[in-house]
Amino acid sequence: MTRQATLLFLLLVVTARCAQAAGAGEHQCLIEPFRKIEIRSTVEALIDTVKVERGSVVRKGQVLVQLESDVEKAALATAQYRAVMQGQMRSSEARLDYSRDKLRRREELSRQNFVSSQERDDAFAEMRVAEAELLAARDDRQLSTLETRRLQELLRLRTLTSPFDGVVTEVLQHPGELAQTGEGSRPILKLAQIHPLRVEVVLPVGLYGRIAENSAAEVETEVPAKARYKAKVQIVDKVVDSASGTFGVRLELPNPGGKIPAGVKCLVRFP
């Protein structure tokens, strides 16, 4: 028997056994989390607190990890105070008012020839300097406001929150350890989104064109949660695997209460 004939014979045997195990019109599938992500820090800092544990159910926006941020908080408090300080502004405003009054008096005296034109010009220059000082004071306050916003964003990076409703699958770092940046660094947490769930199934090419997106299907889970659920076709691969003569289909399975465990095998039936 040639090698190709042997491979064909084995493929037929495997297909027949799968058909016997699954039953007519049933296809083996796998239930997986809708999304799995790793939580890393965008800044290098010591971990202050980890507010969740493995298995914790979290909501979108919930605080997961707090990094040490005493230095950033102190800098933010300084910038916030500088943004509302009144002393420099009032001093510059008073100096400008005095310079304007002085110029007005010098102009009157100059028209009456009691002071020279030089004294009037000096008063005018003094007023212009006072105007520049007031403008600089206003610029300083505006810069302090912008610095406050920048520091608030830096401080926000020290608080890691959940991007979706899900469950903590693993805690890899703990308080006192250094949170590092970059894809190669060790993540702090791992999260999984379990509502909805993904159902992955590989179908024979003979069914291509008979499975449409958004069509309904029935999924039967294996133990420990053996039950039947309604699912919806989300993706039908547009490329067929020529080597195996199959194509992939992804279904979306609602799981609002989190009762269906991810990672279990299942059977799917299409109408």
Q: What is the pLDDT of residues 162-200, one digit of tens each?
A: 999 999 999 999 999 999 988 788 999 999 999 999 999
Under the banding of pLDDT at 50, 70 and 90, the label for residue 94 is: very high
Q: Residue 225: what pLDDT?
A: 67
Q: Residue 10: what pLDDT?
A: 36
> What ranges make up the beta strands (E) of the chain?
26-39, 45-50, 57-58, 63-67, 159-161, 166-171, 178-179, 189-204, 216-221, 228-236, 246-253, 265-269
Determine how β-strand 189-204 pairs with β-strand 166-171: antiparallel
Q: Residue 7: what pLDDT?
A: 35
Q: What is the pLDDT of residues 8-40, one digit of tens each?
A: 443 333 343 444 444 458 999 999 999 999 999
Residue 243 CB-density burial (10 A; 0-12 exposed, 13-18 middle, 19+ buried): exposed
The distance of Cα 108 from the centroid of its chain, to the nearest Å, equals 67
Q: Residue 195: what pLDDT?
A: 95
Mean pLDDT across 96-109: 90
Q: Residue 89: what pLDDT?
A: 84
Please, are residues 220 and 266 in contact by the beta-carbon 8 Å criterion?
yes
pTM score over 0.75:
no
Percent of the chain with pLDDT over 70: 90
Q: Residue 84: what pLDDT?
A: 87
Q: What is the pLDDT of residues 105-154, one digit of tens each?
A: 988 888 888 888 898 899 999 999 999 999 998 999 899 999 999 999 99
Does residue 6 have a pLDDT over 80?
no
CA-to-CA distance for 258 and 197, rounded, in angstroms? 9
Q: Residue 113: what pLDDT?
A: 86
**What is the rounded average pLDDT for all residues in the chain?**
88
Mean pLDDT across 39-67: 96
Q: Residue 154: what pLDDT?
A: 92
Q: Using the Cα atoms of residue 159, residue 262, residue 202 and residue 11 in order, give the sign of their dihedral.
A: positive
Q: Which residues contact 146 (CB under 8 A, 6 or more apart)?
A: none
As given in the structure block, the two tokens for residue 155 are: 């401080």
Q: Residue 14: what pLDDT?
A: 37
Q: Residue 3: what pLDDT?
A: 44
